[in-house]
Amino acid sequence: MFIVGLGLFFFLNEDYKEFPAQAATFIRDLGWKGMFLYGTLYFLLGIFSLPASLITISAGYLFGFFPGILIANIGSTLGAALMFLVGRFLFRGFVERQEEKFGFLKTFDALVEKRGLKIVILTRLAIFMPYGLLNYGFSASKIKLGVFVVGSILGMLPGSILYVIIGTSLENISDMASIQINPSTIAQSHNQNLQVWYVLIMGIGLISMLILVYYLGKISTLALKSMGKNQDEIKSDGN
């Protein structure tokens, strides 16, 4: 009902340029219901893999640092979890059939499952990793839902912190109507605290990407060695 009401609010209002600020005021005045609405918006954005940066920023402005992070992480994680479950239903059977044909894929999948939490955290932290594609990609693997959820919460936390800090740094609600979110504007911000967080999170993202590449390469090597060992055992048994 909140989403329908918000949609009607937008539709009946003629001043489209003021939508962001007016919508934020409308939601803020709802109190705890506004927090629930924001969590629902995150959930829907997560399902459809839509960007949530502006929503996260406004959550920081409206609800403050800790509530904003809590709303952002819970909502986006629930959306990711639903995508994971849908993907598990759609894709897992196909992957299992392929694993019966290709031994490497089966061994690789088992190793990924064993190190699932680390891999999920790294992929969430790594820069340039698409949110929706990761949800479906992990759903096709043997990684358990609980591991995926915990890893997603931890991995998405730094990004949520950055955007919530942007929101808490806004001086008034009308700033959200014209704010532009991109690396250059954040890096050039006069807010030193924001700059520090930006550099820190971008650094974490880059390092995580490098570690992830190394880690997946190591798993691939272990999978190949395991296959080679199994083939040698089969040959020795045959002799």
Which of 164-168, 170-174, 192-196 is most confident? Answer: 164-168
- CA 74 – CA 149 distance, rounded (Å): 10
In the block, tokens 């932290």 appear at 125
Share of the chain above pLDDT 90, in %: 13
The conformation of residue 16, written as its DSSP 8-state character, comes to: G
Q: What angle do CA 98, 208, 38 make, to 5 degrees?
A: 85
Q: How far is CA 99 from the centre of its chain?
A: 27
The pair phi, psi for residue 17, each rounded to 5°, is: -65, -25
Q: Domain extents for the chain?
A: 2-173+181-231
Arithmetic mean of pLDDT, 208-232: 80
In this structure, the number of other CB atoms found within 10 A of the CB of residue 57 comes to: 25
pLDDT for the residue 174:
58
Q: Which helix (H) or strand (E) holds 6?
A: helix 2-12
The CB density around residue 109, as the number of other CB atoms within 10 Å, is 20
C-alpha torsion sign, points 183, 188, 190, 193? positive
DSSP secondary structure letter of residue 173: G
Q: Quick: pLDDT tens for 47-102.
A: 777 767 777 887 888 888 999 899 888 888 888 899 999 989 988 888 888 878 87
Confidence of residue 2 (pLDDT cuts 50, 70, 90): very low
Length of the chain: 239
* More reliable by pLDDT, 174 or 66: 66
146: exposed, middle or buried (C-beta count within 10 Å: 0-12, 13-18, 19+)?
exposed
